[in-house]
Amino acid sequence: MKMNRKNSMLVMAAIMVGTMAFGSMGAVHAATPTQALVAASQMKKASIGNLDNDTRVFAVDKSIEVKNVRFQNRYGFDVAGHLYLPKDFDIHRQYKAVVITGPFGAVKEQSSGLYAQEMAKRGFVAVAFDPSMTGESGGVRRNMGSPEIFTEDYHAAVDFVTNLSFVNPEQVGAIGICGLSGMALTAASNDTRIKAVATSAMYDMSESISDHYDGAYYTPEQRLAVKKHLAKMRDEEAKTGKSIRGAHELAVDADGNVLTFDTMFPDVLPADANQVIKDFYGYYVTRAYHPRAINSNTLAWDSTTPYGFFDFSLMDNIDEISPRPVLLITGDKAHSKYFSDNVYAKLKTPKEEIVVPDATHVDLYDQMDKIPFNRLVAFFDENLK
């Protein structure tokens, strides 16, 4: 059953995953010659260039140099990123570094870029990147989500930063925001080059997509109905050779009909929209709108996106991150808090969960009075020695 745009929002109230950032745009005029940065990179098939077309949607700090970068992951996808350099950057020094992406359906010009800028202001080299097949990253198929490929993008980002001569390869961490948090933890469970990992406003996309939202888990009959729907979508795409947009998280109504939609948001929210949806809308469509973000441009994901999350479960081995430390940041009003709580219970030590008072899920995308950047920086300073 296909839903109209207004009704799609009511379904999204229980199932949507998002991302957020904020502010004003501004130009950054880098002082470090690009040629010098290129020479400092030892990674083949990587490029570094000036940020000539700055479309970031948060308050830009012009004292932080930013460069456009491209690097390949293990599957040959070109990953697009922004390289943030610390204040008073000295190419002859070695710095700590963090790689950052998320939320699910966002781009590097939104929340991950804000986090990267704040880390650079505090002395870190930071890379915010678009997952494969989204934003400016490569992929013939567009707006396709993949637990394995998105996890591999983290590994590739680590490849990139550890091969910069001005980064200490023994001092690299990862940050995952919202729906990319599970990929950050999964990458860290197997990639020992990641010495510490933090998440903010965490979602476990495998659970959210294949099991549905907490408190509304699929019955066996509903799960079978969703699988049949996905098989139909795959068959239609195979026959037509075209991508079909659809919900990445599928609801099933009381009659067993699978509910989908081809737009993330309506042009105008209905007055009775759920508060969670209002929060997402307020971020993606208003204060942090970006035309390349899936969640901003109102286009849904490729309808076969759930396949990967049904096929493979993220985070099965996150207990193996230990003895490397994990920091989980959530809000006491975040509808997603249970994801962080569940992961915290599964992790071995050392681990820490920060519950920010009076903070919603979306607050942790861009609200500077809510995001505990000082504690985030202290975590990496302590654990990337």
Assess contact for 195 and 383: CB atoms under 8 A.
yes
Q: How far is CA 71 from the centre of its chain?
A: 18
**Other residues' Cβ atoms within 10 Å of the Cβ of residue 314:** 26
- pLDDT score for 99: 98
Rounded distance between C-alpha atoms, residue 98 and residue 89, angstroms: 16
Class of residue 182 by CB neighbours under 10 A (exposed 0-12, middle 13-18, buried 19+): buried
Residues sharing a CB contact under 8 Å with residue 159, sequence separation 6 or more, in sequence order:
43, 71
Query: Could you tell me how many residues make up the chain?
Result: 385
Q: Cα Rg for the chain, rounded, in angstroms?
A: 20
Chain segment 54-76, per-residue pLDDT in tens: 999 999 999 999 999 999 999 99
- Mean of pLDDT over the chain: 90
Strand pairing of 167-177 and 46-50? unpaired
Residues sharing a CB contact under 8 Å with residue 184, sequence separation 6 or more, in sequence order:
101, 102, 154, 174, 175, 176, 197, 199
Beta bridge partners of 199: 176, 328
- pLDDT score for 46: 94
- pLDDT score for 19: 33
Residues sharing a CB contact under 8 Å with residue 240, sequence separation 6 or more, in sequence order:
none
Angle at 156 between CA 102 and CA 350, to 5 degrees: 65
Angle at 121 between CA 332 and CA 115, to 5 degrees: 40
Rounded distance between C-alpha atoms, residue 284 and residue 16, angstroms: 13
Rounded distance between C-alpha atoms, residue 138 and residue 132, angstroms: 6
CATH fold for the domain made of 34-208+313-383: Rossmann fold (3.40.50)
Beta bridge partners of 129: 81
- Give residue for tokens 């009704």: 7
Residue 306's SS3 state is: helix
pTM value > 0.75: yes
- pLDDT score for 298: 61
Please list the pLDDT of the chain residue by residue as tens digits (385 residues).
Answer: 444 444 444 344 433 333 333 334 344 444 899 999 999 999 988 999 999 999 999 999 999 999 999 999 999 999 999 999 998 999 999 999 999 999 999 999 999 999 999 999 999 999 999 999 999 999 999 999 999 999 999 999 999 999 999 999 999 999 999 999 999 999 999 999 999 999 999 999 999 999 887 778 899 999 999 999 999 999 999 999 999 999 999 989 999 999 998 888 888 888 888 999 999 999 999 999 999 999 997 678 999 999 999 999 899 999 999 999 999 999 999 999 999 999 999 999 999 999 999 999 999 999 999 999 999 999 999 999 8
Domain ranges of the chain: 5-16+214-310, 34-208+313-383
Residue 101's SS3 state is: strand
**Other residues' Cβ atoms within 10 Å of the Cβ of residue 324:** 16
CATH fold for the domain made of 5-16+214-310: Arc Repressor Mutant, subunit A (1.10.10)
- pLDDT score for 16: 39
The alpha carbon dihedral of 205, 376, 153, 101 has a sign of positive
Residues sharing a CB contact under 8 Å with residue 74, sequence separation 6 or more, in sequence order:
152, 155, 156
Assess contact for 113 and 97: CB atoms under 8 A.
no
Beta bridge partners of 176: 101, 199
Residue 99's SS3 state is: strand
Assess contact for 168 and 176: CB atoms under 8 A.
no
